[in-house]
């Protein structure tokens, strides 16, 4: 089954977490669990989540709506669904004002959790694809403009072949070979991988990738969902384990780094 977005469950109700996690995994989602936001912080450091299921009453050093504030500040690109056993009007309104996608009241069945998660992540991916379509149109316009600029005017030269320990990027043929086998990439996936490999000595942000690949400026918050979709697809094609990528590493709150 094709790998899908990762989901983090932050809840101290172990039985509920287990049921939800098993149901989501059965639909192809990678899931990780934490009893509190305090415990979840390490997971945010090492994983790239698409969505968090958060119990605003979970025990831990950070509680209630403060957990949403922390996620909004430190992982603003992910969507959040709040789950609560004892909701109040104040907490419900407060959560929605903080931009959460949905608010569920316990008890919640695994079927309902899967339905809400799929609805949220489907909307998320559709939005990213719409933005990518717009970016492709912008790219074509920029390419037309570039034809009016004399070749080499910017004075920048690049090697035609980029090599890592197991990946070769041939810019002339727009071909990627990994361990002797060609890798089928879309034009956007190729350009992103090319840029990451060429800048493997540093972390690059999503907005920088959009600027380099698509040729125009975009705010970081707008760029992240577009880049995330393509990074996930790239990982599916070049990584042995997409949940623990070797090559395309996420650097929390900063962007991505290519590791040979």
Task: Give all domains of the chain, ordered by start, each with its CATH number.
Answer: 6-124 (3.40.50.2300), 158-258 (1.10.10.10)
Sign of the alpha-carbon dihedral angle for 37, 226, 242, 256: negative
Q: What is the mean pLDDT of residues 172-176?
A: 87
Sign of the alpha-carbon dihedral angle for 192, 252, 166, 183: negative
DSSP alpha helices (H): ranges in 32-109?
37-46, 65-74, 89-97
Percent over 70 (pLDDT), the chain: 86
Q: What is the pLDDT of residues 25-61, one digit of tens each?
A: 999 898 999 988 788 888 887 788 889 998 876 444 3
pLDDT exceeds cutoff 90 at 116: yes
Smallest CA-to-CA distance from 73 within 59, 62, 86 is with 62
Could you tell me which residues come within 8 angstroms of residue 146 by beta carbon, excluding any fewer than 6 positions away? Answer: none
Q: What is the pLDDT of residues 200-233, one digit of tens each?
A: 989 999 999 999 988 888 888 888 888 988 898 8
Six token digits for residue 168:
């070769």
Residue in the structure block whose two tokens are 């623990």: 244
pLDDT band at 190 (very low <50, low <70, confident <90, very high): very high
Provide the whole-model pTM: 0.56
pLDDT exceeds cutoff 80 at 134: no
pLDDT exceeds cutoff 50 at 155: no
3-class secondary-structure state, position 49: strand
Could you tell me which residues come within 8 angstroms of residue 133 by beta carbon, excluding any fewer than 6 positions away? Answer: none
pLDDT value of residue 62: 42
Could you tell me which residues come within 8 angstroms of residue 186 by beta carbon, excluding any fewer than 6 positions away? Answer: 233
Six token digits for residue 59:
């025990």
């Amino acid at each position: 089954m094709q790998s899908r977005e990762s989901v983090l469950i932050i809840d101290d109700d172990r039985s509920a977490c287990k049921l939800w996690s098993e149901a989501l995994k059965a639909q192809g989602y990678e899931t990780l669990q934490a009893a509190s936001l305090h415990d979840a912080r390490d997971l945010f450091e090492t994983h790239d989540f698409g969505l968090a299921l958060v119990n605003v009453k979970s025990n831990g050093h950070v509680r209630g709506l403060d957990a949403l504030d922390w996620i909004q500040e430190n992982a603003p690109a992910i969507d959040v669904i709040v789950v609560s056993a004892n909701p109040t009007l104040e907490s419900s309104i407060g959560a929605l004002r903080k931009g959460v996608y949905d608010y569920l009241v316990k008890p919640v069945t695994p079927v309902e959790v899967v339905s809400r998660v799929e609805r949220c992540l489907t909307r998320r991916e559709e939005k990213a694809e719409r933005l990518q379509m717009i970016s492709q149109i912008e790219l074509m316009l920029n390419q037309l403009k570039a034809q009016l600029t004399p070749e080499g005017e910017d004075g920048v030269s690049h090697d035609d072949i980029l090599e890592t320990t197991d990946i070769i990027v041939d810019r002339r043929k727009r071909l990627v070979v990994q361990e002797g086998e060609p890798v089928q990439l879309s034009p956007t996936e190729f350009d992103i991988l090319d840029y990451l490999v060429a800048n493997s000595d540093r972390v690059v942000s999503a907005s920088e990738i959009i600027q380099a690949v698509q040729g125009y400026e975009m705010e970081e918050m707008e760029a992240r969902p577009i880049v995330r979709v393509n990074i996930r697809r790239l990982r599916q094609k070049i990584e042995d384990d997409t949940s623990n990528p070797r090559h395309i590493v996420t650097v929390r709150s900063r962007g991505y780094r290519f590791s040979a």
